[in-house]
Structure 1
Amino acid sequence: MAAPSPPLQTITTPRLRALCPDPPATVQIRNLTTTLQHSGHDAWNRAGKAQPCQISASVAFAAPFATAAAHDRLGADTVHYGTLSKAVLASVGRSEVESAPSPPPLSWDVKRGVWDVLRWVWVDLTGVEVDGTLVGGGSSSSYLLDVKKVRLLSVTVSLPKASLLGDGVSLTMSGAFEQGSGRMEARAMALEVSRLKVPTLVGVNDNERLAKQFVVATVTVEGFTPQEDLYTEIERDVVKAMEESSFETLEALGAHLAERVLASPKCQDGWQVCVRMEKPTAVPMADCPIVEVRATRESLKRESAAGTS
């Protein structure tokens, strides 16, 4: 009797990428642009509003491109980027049509989010569900990617217009596959609200206490599990906290912002929040100083306990 497979690990994106630090061959597509008509929420958290969507995918193979390198032709050891692009666009189209209520009501189901699009693309490419199980319990050999030859796959769905003060939002799923078997051994899920530009009172110098200056904040939530879209709520909480704050250091501001995100009633166990802050006007001869803060609920509890002891 075969030994049961180890459980699927859910880890952070950096830790997952460390499982495959130097892939011998990789095919990527970046910012493949399409339009979402029904899935996802816009910058005002409205469902069912048409908006641009960008898909990126990175396929890291377990072995080099032997056929292409030796014979200058495509073989089973790679995937053509044109075919990959067409498959991704077709999958997004199916997610918009096949997951839609039929007949459509007056307003689309508000629970249809970016996650639904990402899951469709992931499953269509691999034949593997996000929990690591094969679709229908069968073989994944009929899907575009042969996961037995893939070491790491990453798919990102971005909405560049879904932020009021930032450069957009994105949801990324990455998976590491066991070489030879195709079993998904680890996965990572990250939600990012990118480059929020918020006037903030922050700084230790006398002049910095006189007026607000722009701080550019990027908030990444690792360990994000499939659920409703939360990016507009995260942006709202972060912007409000920055507007109301008056810290002297970016370090203290970052800790405060991470704590605010983790204090949300919708925060899930296992979230790790990374806040990256840039202060463009602080150092005239540099683009900006940058400070990053990472926190979990557990780390905040430890720090609180240490501070009161």
Structure 2
Amino acid sequence: MAEQRVNVHIPSHPAVLDSVQLHKIQLPLPAAPDPWHRSGKPQPCTASLKLSYSSAIAAAAADDVSLSLDYGKLYRRLDHDIQHMGSHNGPDNRMISVHGTRRDEMSTKDLGQDVRVIGGIVAICALGLLDETAAGVRRMSHVHQSPRNSTSAGPQGQAQAMAAAYNTPSTNSPIDGDFGQCEVWLHLPKALLRAEEGLKYRSVTLWGYRQPDETTSDEAIDTGRCPVVLEEEFRIDGIRCYCILGVNSHERLEKQAVVVSLGFKGPGQLAWGSTIVDTYQEMTRTVAERVEGTSFQTVEALATFVARIVTVEFANERVTVKVEKPSALAFVERSGVEVTRSQAFFERQGMEDRSRG
């Protein structure tokens, strides 16, 4: 159930946008979705993140690490926050959608059972460190007092020249915390029994600001900033099934392996994400079992069959289905097709079928 809507402003990207990236962090979760439906079980998780901000011009020109964001500190803080995610308020009561709404059902689930909460912890940790770094850099007196802080020569002068070229503030504020965006990728490889590659999740979160008429003072404006989930994506890859599939005579004799993948993508913190989180275990099992009872001549027909199950029977608004045949071509690892279908597509198709009948 969505809470009351608020007016939120999404800032535009700055002229110079730099980023820090951590790739494939081994991040064991103290509790996460378990394929056997056991609560509180630790699970493996691989996380990656890209934290974008404005800007690292000064750090690059002056070759001064004190003007940059410490990605070692980011990793240590992230590891701590994940391991202690049950001992403090989670991100679910702060994250909002681009429409200014917030989902409250995430707070009712057991610790770690909603992958969106885990992604929110990662994003808020990164955005929080960006704020801390920007504030620390502003406080450093040596940024203004160092002999290197000369416009005539030296690295600091280079920094100011580079900033001027991009029409951006110079090293008076090398890292600006007003804009911050964090893209997060999570991979839970053992979250599903029937999907060899498990569950994958991606989110893009950035700082948003409540509209001025929502606040009455500078302090209120500052506290009115909130993390906005711009978009989310879920993937279930590697659902391996065996069925009759193909037009060639030899393909009609025996079942062959097919690999099905499901993809969901849309604006963040909306109801469609909760539908997936609540049903993906049962949905994956149903797809695997139903596919193994089919006999199609074309891969397109099988992909559409899967899309109908996912959208019509499990109430997902839209899905991208990929079906691949590992054994179809001797010197090709996999061949297949990808289709995107929606509930509306099958509703229209049903109406056309009824009108023809």
TM-score above 0.5, yes or no: yes
1:5-43 C-alpha deviation (Å, 9 max, x unpaired)? 5677xxxxxxxxxx98x98533222221122233x2212
Structure 1 position 81, deviation (Å) = 2.7
Q: What SS class does the counterpart of residue 331 from structure 2 fall into?
A: coil
- Return the match for 2:50 from 50, 55, 58: 58
1:171 and 2:239 correspond: no
Instruction: Say if 2:322 is the partner of 1:276.
Output: yes
Matched, 1:246 2:295: yes
- Structure 2: how far apart are the matches of 1:71 and 1:143? 17
Q: Give the SS at the match of 1:230.
A: helix
Select the residue among 320, 324, 332 that pairs with 1:286: 332
TM-score computed with the length of structure 1 as normaliser: 0.73
Unaligned runs of at least 5 residues, structure 1: 9-18, 101-107, 128-139
Q: Sequence identity, in percent?
A: 25
**Which runs of 5 or more structure 2 residues have no equivalent in the other structure?**
1-5, 91-108, 135-174, 212-224, 267-271
Structure-2 residue corresponding to 1:35: 28
Counterparts in 2 of 1:123-272, with a 5 A limit? Answer: 123-126=124-127, 141-142=131-132, 148-150=178-180, 152-165=181-194, 166-175=196-205, 187-223=230-266, 224-226=272-274, 228-265=277-314, 267=315, 271-272=317-318
Opposite residue 273 of structure 2, the aligned amino acid is T
Q: How many equivalent pairs are there?
A: 268
Q: 1:99 to 1:5 in 2, by over 3 A?
A: closer
From 82, 87, 105, the equivalent of 2:72 is 82
Distance 1:75 1:210 in 2: 68
Closer/same/farther in 2, CA of residues 25 and 278 from structure 1, 3 Å limit: farther
Alpha-carbon deviation of 1:172? 1.9
Residue 122 of structure 1 pairs with residue 123 of structure 2: yes
Read off the aligned partner of 2:252 and give its amino acid letter. R
Question: Following the alignment from structure 1 to structure 2, what is the Cα–Cα distance between the partners of residues 49 and 155?
Answer: 23
Change (3 A) 1:226 1:87: farther
Paired residue for 2:160?
A: none
Contact 1:42 1:161 (8 Å CA) reproduced: yes
1:83 deviates by 2.3
How many Å separate the matches in 2 of 1:41 and 1:141? Answer: 31
TM-superposed CA distance for 1:212, in Å, is: 1.3
On the 8 A contact 2:124/2:227 being kept in 1, the answer is: no
In 2, distance between residues paired with 1:7 and 1:200?
Answer: 50
CA distance in 1, matches of 2:79, 2:351: 50
- Change beyond 3 A, Cα 1:203–1:295: same
Alpha-carbon offset, residue 169 of structure 1: 0.7
Tell me, yes or no, if the aligned pair for 1:95 and 1:116 is still in contact at 8 Å.
Answer: no
Q: Give the aligned residue type for 2:238.
A: R
Q: CA deviation at 1:99?
A: 6.4
SS at match of 1:276: strand
Equivalent-residue separation in structure 1 for 2:26 and 2:112 (angstroms): 23
The 1:212/1:96 distance shift into structure 2, 3 A limit, reads farther
Bigger fraction of residues in helix: 2
Label 1:141 to 1:85 Cα distance change in 2 as closer, same or farther (>3 A). Answer: closer
Larger Rg: 1 or 2? 2
Q: For 2:184 and 2:53, locate their aligned partners in 1 and report how far apart those are by CA, in whole Å.
A: 15
Q: Deviations over 1:245-286 (max 9, x none)?
A: 211111111111111111245x35xx3211122211112222
Q: Distance in 2 between matches of 1:188 and 1:91?
A: 23
CA RMSD after TM alignment: 3.5
TM-superposed CA distance for 1:159, in Å, is: 1.1
SS at match of 2:332: coil
SS at match of 1:161: coil
Alpha-carbon separation, structure 1, partners of 2:42 and 2:343: 36
Structure 1 distance, partners of 2:228, 2:120, is 18
Q: Which residue of the other structure, out of 31, 40, 43, is the alignment partner of 1:48? A: 40
